[in-house]
Amino acid sequence: MPGIDKLPIEETLEDSPQTRSLLGVFEEDATAISNYMNQLYQAMHRIYDAQNELSAATHLTSKLLKEYEKQRFPLGGDDEVMSSTLQQFSKVIDELSSCHAVLSTQLADAMMFPITQFKERDLKEILTLKEVFQIASNDHDAAINRYSRLSKKRENDKVKYEVTEDVYTSRKKQHQTMMHYFCALNTLQYKKKIALLEPLLGYMQAQISFFKMGSENLNEQLEEFLANIGTSVQNVRREMDSDIETMQQTIEDLEVASDPLYVPDPDPTKFPVNRNLTRKAGYLNARNKTGLVSSTWDRQFYFTQGGNLMSQARGDVAGGLAMDIDNCSVMAVDCEDRRYCFQITSFDGKKSSILQAESKKDHEEWICTINNISKQIYLSENPEETAARVNQSALEAVTPSPSFQQRHESLRPAAGQSRPPTARTSSSGSLGSESTNLAALSLDSLVAPDTPIQFDIISPVCEDQPGQAKAFGQGGGNVFYSFGKEIWHLKIYNTPCSVIDSILHQLFIVRFLGSMEVKSDDHPDVVYETMRQILAARAIHNIFRMTESHLLVTCDCLKLIDPQTQVTRLTFPLPCVVLYATHQENKRLFGFVLRTSSGRSESNLSSVCYIFESNNEGEKICDSVGLAKQIALHAELDRRASEKQKEIERVKEKQQKELNKQKQIEKDLEEQSRLIAASSRPNQASSEGQFVVLSSSQSEESDLGEGGKKRESEA
């Protein structure tokens, strides 16, 4: 015989949509069997009625044939041959009538009794169990709804105990009814074969017995076939009895093992939370808004499939996509006075769903599972081991280790692998040498263990708020710009945004994870260590809420902008960003170190590391910051070169003026010498008795000549 399809009794307590869908198939099969058996019953009943009618008609025929000789026909009524022939036919037909009566009795016992019993007992039992199971399922749903509506703020122990007891009773009743219902449906698969074969077997045996009474020459092949059919029926019956015994034992074992699971919120000490899951399925209450304020909650079956969250209603063959949870964010929320609620927000922030778990254990497991899927851990070869390793690293993050190198064994590449390009992990030209002995660095040299962590932006500020610019040194002061191994000391003036700010203008969606003060800012591992401590602190304290902002990268500064109001929350001057890096394994994480003056003195500097999460754009953000710093550096170098060129031109112009002045003085001296020479010749002539009359202009020139000569002699 072919294999028998069965319903899994072990999955009755979970009551998943797949089980309900499979149950629907069995119920549909039971309905089809009932319809078919009703038709077959009518057909066999017609055979039985026809056989009874045939027996009665044969007996009536034999009786009429016997009375033929008593009939008085107007013509030919005294034909004795015909009368004797009909009497012989009457005896044969009377014997046939007796055989048909025996056949009718055998058909009633061997054909009609089994199919009538199957129709009136087995099929009605299935129908009764179906109605009882439906009532138990509805009672369980009603009890779950009352339990889900328990108030968290106005908690009443008496009401809670009554509702919990109601859930326990209804769930137990549903489980027991469902197991017996499944057992009856599984048994039906055997009984339908018996109900089909036994009537046919009885019909054929009755016919053979009928023909044996008329003839001894029975077909041996038919007898062998019927014997085989009879043997198969007996084997099916024995297998059915054995399987019924096994299912009854399974029901008893499951009733004992499932008793603690009837409570909707089990004891967490007996059933610990598994935080390393990458797949999960179960019933959740989903909130659906019906108006501006009102909303409804629908209970559906949810399960994860890869990076998708699927939902499935009862009776559906397959589930539908509820949300893409790759790169999403999940957090616990308080919603409408309901417990165990959490919110899932898509990576682009355009879609969000609020769901309610049944217990605290399911609540934490759903959040951890979606968080693990959001990190795309399910794409690794061993997802659960990878998730366990990541969560273990988060738990060990608050435990100080003896050396920096030991704490980063999981983050560093394996032996023989090259380090990622420094252009994406640090500023243009790292501040520290790559040959630095990292093993010699202690924990306190990077981030102090007791350094406070800020998990959220304090408050949004205006773009032109003076206090913010003053905090980062924008109000006119000195900042430090790193390039290579040199540190450029620049003066920041109170001037509008320069023209180079329009060269680069890139916007990214980021979520703020936290910030903390660091002691060193000369190596990218400072950013990795800060990421590790912040992620560990968020995991340990169950902090899932993140502030989403738009990060604007320009050649002048980095700005965090509120996506709703477009108000600038924080502004980071680009020269103060001395170090930036993305995580080596999780490219969604990136951070940068901001070096600012903590007081009036420019030598008193402090460094703060800010950590963000992006939508797989950590490397792009680091590349944009590096490009902005290079553009700003080249602009500064061009400005200095331009100022130097202007200074050279001013010196040349001054030298040219001095040279022109010197030439003018020399020219004046030559003119004075000529005038003196001209004035000396008349004096010589007058000494010989000759007189020369000088004009007034010549007298003045002579006076000027003498004055210039005196000045020259004094010089």
- Choice among 13-27, 218-232, 664-678 with the minimum mean pLDDT: 218-232
pTM: 0.44
Mean pLDDT of 54-60: 88
Q: Are residues 285 and 231 in the same domain?
A: no
Mean pLDDT of 344-358: 86
The verdict on residue 96 lying in a domain is: yes
Per residue in 73-97, pLDDT (tens digit) is 777 656 776 777 777 778 777 877 8
Q: Are residues 230 and 303 in the same domain?
A: no
Question: What's the pLDDT band for 683 if we cut at 50, 70, 90?
Answer: low
The verdict on residue 183 lying in a domain is: yes
The verdict on residue 302 lying in a domain is: yes
Per residue in 573-624, pLDDT (tens digit) is 888 888 888 887 777 888 999 887 765 555 677 888 999 988 767 888 888 8
Q: Is the pLDDT of residue 711 over 80?
A: no
597: domain CATH number is: 2.30.29.30
What's the rounded Cα separation, in Å, for the pair 358 and 143? 12
For 589, other C-beta atoms within 10 Å of its C-beta total 22
What's the rounded Cα separation, in Å, for the pair 573 and 210? 108
Predicted confidence at residue 492, as pLDDT, reads: 36
Cα dihedral across residues 369, 374, 377, 380: positive or negative: positive
Q: Are residues 168 and 226 in the same domain?
A: no
Question: What's the pLDDT band for 311 if we cut at 50, 70, 90?
Answer: very high
Q: What rounded mean pLDDT belongs to the chain? A: 76
Q: Are residues 34 and 173 in the same domain?
A: yes
- Choice among 314-323, 380-389, 428-437 with the minimum mean pLDDT: 428-437
The verdict on residue 134 lying in a domain is: yes
Give one word for 433, left, alpha or beta, with left for phi > 0 and alpha for psi -120 to 50: beta
Q: Is the pLDDT of residue 61 over 80?
A: yes
Q: Which of 354, 379, 404 is the last residue of a domain?
A: 379
Q: Are residues 224 and 211 in the same domain?
A: no
Q: Are residues 204 and 233 in the same domain?
A: no
Number of domains in the chain: 4
What's the rounded Cα separation, in Å, for the pair 635 and 642? 10
Mean pLDDT of 192-209: 88
Q: Is the pLDDT of residue 713 over 60?
A: no
Q: Are residues 100 and 228 in the same domain?
A: no
Q: Which residue has the higher pLDDT, 387 or 123?
A: 123
Q: Is the pLDDT of residue 3 over 60?
A: yes
Predicted confidence at residue 597, as pLDDT, reads: 74
What's the rounded Cα separation, in Å, for the pair 468 and 453? 20
Q: Are residues 606 and 548 in the same domain?
A: yes
Closest by Cα among 670, 621, 585, 378 to 511: 621
The verdict on residue 206 lying in a domain is: yes
Per residue in 650-674, pLDDT (tens digit) is 888 888 888 888 888 888 888 888 8
Q: Which residue has the higher pLDDT, 475 or 181?
A: 181
Q: Which residue has the higher pLDDT, 347 or 49?
A: 49
Mean pLDDT of 306-327: 87
Q: Are residues 173 and 287 in the same domain?
A: no
Q: Are residues 251 and 166 in the same domain?
A: no
Cα dihedral across residues 23, 26, 28, 34: positive or negative: negative
Q: Which of 357, 379, 401 is the last residue of a domain?
A: 379
177: domain CATH number is: 1.20.1270.60
Q: Which residue has the higher pLDDT, 485 or 39?
A: 39
The verdict on residue 63 lying in a domain is: yes
Q: Which of 332, 351, 379 is the last residue of a domain?
A: 379
The verdict on residue 588 lying in a domain is: yes
First to last CA, the chain: 137
Q: Are residues 246 and 336 in the same domain?
A: no
Domain of residue 519 covers 503-633
The verdict on residue 541 lying in a domain is: yes
Q: Are residues 235 and 291 in the same domain?
A: no
